[in-house]
Amino acid sequence: MSITPKVLLRSLSDQTRLRCLMLLIQEGELCVCELTHALDLIQPKISRHLASLRDMQIVNDRRAGQWIYYSINSVLPDWANELLQATLKGSKNEKQFKDDLKKLKGMPNRPNNRICA
Amino acid sequence: MSITPKVLLRSLSDQTRLRCLMLLIQEGELCVCELTHALDLIQPKISRHLASLRDMQIVNDRRAGQWIYYSINSVLPDWANELLQATLKGSKNEKQFKDDLKKLKGMPNRPNNRICA
DNA sequence: ATAATATATATGTTTGACCGTATATATGTC
DNA sequence: GACATATATACGGTCAAACATATATATTAT
């Protein structure tokens, strides 16, 4: 079964999950420590919300050494991708989003997440 | 100030508000009793959620005699309209949405909501 | 094996949002 | 005026979900 509007919208209704997803859409793949740094929240909180997004099949995870990388599920239905893109479009004006992105870019010692190093 | 993703997504996270909005997008303008009938919920519940959507400037209301008609705010930003359209696209497969629409169409004594009668 | 780092999860608590019931308000009809 | 219909709101209760803290697990390095 594929995701429903009910499930996706419920997930997007929490600010922490929304902020994570916006960064993931924009950046492609991020690990927990990058998201923790960018959002300036405690690690268990980020992990908990990412686990929830994984359970809803909105994101996928991949282990690489001690890091676990999350990314948007690549096989979401069209309407879901369109919904996420519309949300990103709306978020780009938001101070919160800009700040998160800036914080991410400025993170020291970012782990290298390139699959082909 | 215009609506934010945070506010719109929070509004869409409740099933009652989501169902109302999907019918409003599809049908243009509906009164409280039509929505109450279509969703098969009690009137105060519908009114409460519509008031919330009005407060968030997602819908407008208009009185016509004893009826109050609600419709999607016509000056939402592009991203918000795109988000709603994507949601509608995803909802059209859903049994819940189909049932709501069928119930609305089959409602006896629907008030006539045409502005120019 | 010990220590350090990254991530996940368990636990108990709190809070905000939704709920149903009751009631108030507004309009129309007789 | 009295009554019916449509809608809004106030009130108190309930519950899901989010929270912080503490701890467990996994990986890497020394």
A59 touches chain B (CB under 8 A): no
Q: Which residue is nearest to nucleotide D22 (CA to C1')?
A: A44
* Mean pLDDT, rounded, of chain A: 95
Q: Which residue is nearest to nucleotide C17 (CA to C1')?
A: B14
What is the CATH code of the structural domain delimited by B5-102?
1.10.10.10
H/E element, B31: strand B30-31
A40 touches chain B (CB under 8 A): no
| Fold (topology level) of A5-100 | Arc Repressor Mutant, subunit A (1.10.10)
HSE-CB of B93 using CA atoms within 13 angstroms: 14
Phi-psi region of B65 (alpha: psi -120 to 50; beta: other; left: phi over 0): left
Instruction: Say which residue, A115 or B99, is predicted with more confidence.
Output: B99
User: Which bases of chain D are contacted by protein, using any atom under 7 A from a CB?
Assistant: 5-10, 17-23, 26-28
Across residues A35-58, what is the average pLDDT? 98
B89 touches chain A (CB under 8 A): yes
- pLDDT band per the 50, 70, 90 thresholds, residue B116: very low
* Mean pLDDT, rounded, of chain B: 95
List, for residues B11-36, the tens digit of each pLDDT value: 999 999 999 999 999 999 999 999 99
Closest CA to B28 of B79, B80, B78, B88: B88
